[in-house]
Structure 1
Amino acid sequence: MSIFSAVKELSKRYETNALGNGGVEFMMDGYSVEFHDRGLERLTVTFIARMPEKWKKPATARKGWGYEFLQKKGTSALHVKSDRNTWYRLPSIRNFFEDANSVGFFSAFEHTMTYGTSMGGYGALAFAGIVGANACLSYNPQINLGQSVRSWETRFSSAMQYSWDDPTFNLNDQIRDVKLPVVVYDPYYKLDRKQVELLSGGHVIKLRVPFVGHHMPDHFRALGLLNWMYSECESGEVDKHEFYRRVRERRHLLRYRNVMLSAANGNIHRYNRINRLLPQEKLLGDP
């Protein structure tokens, strides 16, 4: 089935909006999914990150993760957006992906990649299997927020209202056939590290970036690394040596200094040493 036919079939099953830039938006309970056709060579499926709980706007009012970036690259994109922080657990979004798969939407593309951070990083891993992804790029994802981790996972209490036990969201199963699953995280941010340790697949590439905290993409954006990291995953192979060479440049960022100061935990000797080695007036960017 052609991509045109697949979109037409999905439009029969879901309420849609025509977007001004030639895209189409599918709407369902709790979510909207934007599709932008920029050719059949590559498709990137992105998942929006967790938003502040006070954010009350509908999914249709949100901007898709990486929209401008993928538009500039000329890559076809499917942007998954949510009304609230559901961690993509509502049945409606799973049903949409199953419908899209059944009408041949994903098989129309030569190469498919999933992409996201935090809650979106979870989504990128959780749906990589059903879209037949060749690659997955997930920044500091949550892997499981269910009862089994509540003895140590103290964040995201709102996630407890959702089921985390169904086998379709066993992330180790979902990424089993993904050729290049890449997870980037801070090993010294304890809860993120413990989440990533729940991934047991031996083929998962786990890239460690110490002392940047949970807001990994902000550091990568400041370093000009987001495009490079995406392109490496898209190409099918990550140059680890070059990756670690590039991330060492984070020591020139003001936000890196501030994370380090926070990690000092009030230790005056560590605090003074960080101030001496990372003088604020010589660093770049926003805190």
Structure 2
Amino acid sequence: MPPHAPKAESSLHLLFEDADCQVWTNAWLDHSPAGRVCVALSPRHPRHPPVFGQKLFDKRQLPAVFIQPRRSNWYQFAAMPEVCALIRRRIGARPVFTYGSSMGGFGAVLAAGWLNADIALAVSPQVSIARDRVGDFETRWQQEAQALTFLWPDARAMIQPEVRHVLAFDPTHGADRRHARLLMAQRPQAFHALPVWGGGHPVGPALGVAGALSALVEDIARGQIGLEEALRAARQRYRQSPVRPFVVAMALNAISRKRRRHQGWAKAQRVRTGIQHEHRPTPPTLKACLALGHAPALPAKD
């Protein structure tokens, strides 16, 4: 541990606040030798403290900055680019990765370019919650969507080719599968898929119980192994977890329901077979799962 290091449960320090968000740093930002600083973007407005990710980063003694919206605004506030520039100045020349879940996953893709990040870890993100962008399949969060003035409505427009995106999602979750398909179709080479079968929305809890999520975050932050190796370790940790049989059972049940009511049942059966064999699905199997249902066509560019 570095000299004069903070206690494991470090306090947060307010870096910025306005009517739309608060930005906090943890004490490890100035004390941890980790290779990357995480900018963690909160999901929907938190029901209770601490801020999203605080416990994980304090326990692992990892440097982090937290963007905490004051409401469920999907980061659609005009100062967002300036907030990211302020964070970048505070971090300095150290490399950065973004991390978020659901609304925060959308934010992780959105902000990666503004922060000059090299990795974005997006857990169960959305392409958009604006139905004119994704179609009628997205029925969640419509109350929030109707109240928003969208400045950056579509995460696909913000994908940067130099950013490596890790996309963790549940292929058996209809809406999340469609969001994943649309994101990866935009720039396939920029994405690394981390499917969590039956993990629901979001998949963070399923990965978290297995210890795979916190280990992946730490591997990315410390930068001592490459991203591909970190993802292999996360997949192995999840496969060996006692929680996996339960999650796989949920996936089988979900796919069985899909098979009964959807004419593409043969594709669902192939995915089900892959899960029953208890090995990581091959790319064709993942592709078949992503192809279930009818994803809307990409909207015309503005």
TM-score (norm 2): 0.68
State the alpha-carbon separation in 2 of the partners of residues 255 and 186 from structure 1. Answer: 14
- Residue 138 (1) aligns with residue 132 (2): no
- C-alpha separation between the residues in 2 aligned to 1:65 and 1:249? 27
Matches within 5 A, 1:121-270: 121-146=105-130, 147-157=132-142, 158-164=144-150, 166=151, 170-199=154-183, 200-201=186-187, 202-234=189-221, 235=223, 236-239=226-229, 240-249=231-240, 252=243, 256=247, 259-260=250-251, 263=254, 264-265=256-257
1:49 aligns with 2:36: no
In structure 1, the residue corresponding to 2:138 is in which secondary structure? coil
One-letter amino acid of the structure 1 residue matched with residue 39 of structure 2? V
How far residue 244 of structure 1 moved from its aligned partner, in angstroms, is 3.5
Match for 2:205: what amino acid?
A: D
After superposition, what is the alpha-carbon deviation per residue over 1:146-180, rounded to whole angstroms, capped at 9, x for unaligned? Answer: 1222422111112233244x4x5653343314442
Distance (Å, rounded) in 2 between the aligned partners of 1:171 and 1:156:
16
TM-superposed CA distance for 1:260, in Å, is 4.2
- Three-state SS of the structure 1 residue aligned to 2:50 is coil
Identity, in percent, stands at 22
Change (3 A) 1:160 1:251: farther
1:90-114 per-position Cα deviation (integer Å, ceiling 9, x unaligned): 223343224445xx334x1421111
Give 1:117 deviation, angstroms: 0.6
Q: Is structure 2 residue 18 aligned with structure 1 residue 31? A: no
Q: What letter matches 1:248 in structure 2?
A: R
Structure 1 counterpart SS, 2:39? strand
Counterparts of 2:56 and 2:205 in 1: how far apart (Å)?
14
Q: 1:118 and 2:102 equivalent?
A: yes
Q: Quote the Cα distance in structure 2 between the aligned partners of 1:250 and 1:155.
A: 31
Instruction: Report SS of the residue matched to 1:197.
Output: helix
- Please state how far the C-alpha of 1:70 moved relative to its aligned partner: 1.2
TM-score normalised by length of structure 1: 0.71
Secondary structure of the 1:69 match is helix
Report the Cα offset of residue 210 of structure 1: 1.4
Aligned partner of 2:60 in structure 1 is 73
Residue 250 of structure 1 and its aligned partner are, at CA, apart by 5.4
3-state SS, counterpart of residue 89 of structure 1: coil
Give me the whole-angstrom Cα distance separating, in 2, the residues matched to 1:100 and 1:79.
10
Q: How many residue pairs align between the two structures?
A: 237
- In structure 1, C-alpha distance between the alignment counterparts of 2:251 and 2:196, rounded to whole Å: 13
The gaps in structure 2 that reach 5 residues or longer are 1-9, 261-275, 277-302
1:162 is matched by which residue type in structure 2? L
Tell me the C-alpha RMSD between the 2 structures: 2.9
Match of residue 76 from structure 2: 89
- Check conservation: 1:137, 1:233, Cα contact below 8 A: no
Deviations 1:28-82 (A, max 9, x none): 1121110223347531100111248xx5xxxxx7422211221233322111112
Which residue of 5, 11, 17 maps to 1:21?
11
Contact 1:185 1:209 in 2 (8 A): yes
CA distance in 2, matches of 1:205, 1:261: 24
Decide whether the 8 Å contact of 2:238 with 2:244 is kept in 1: no
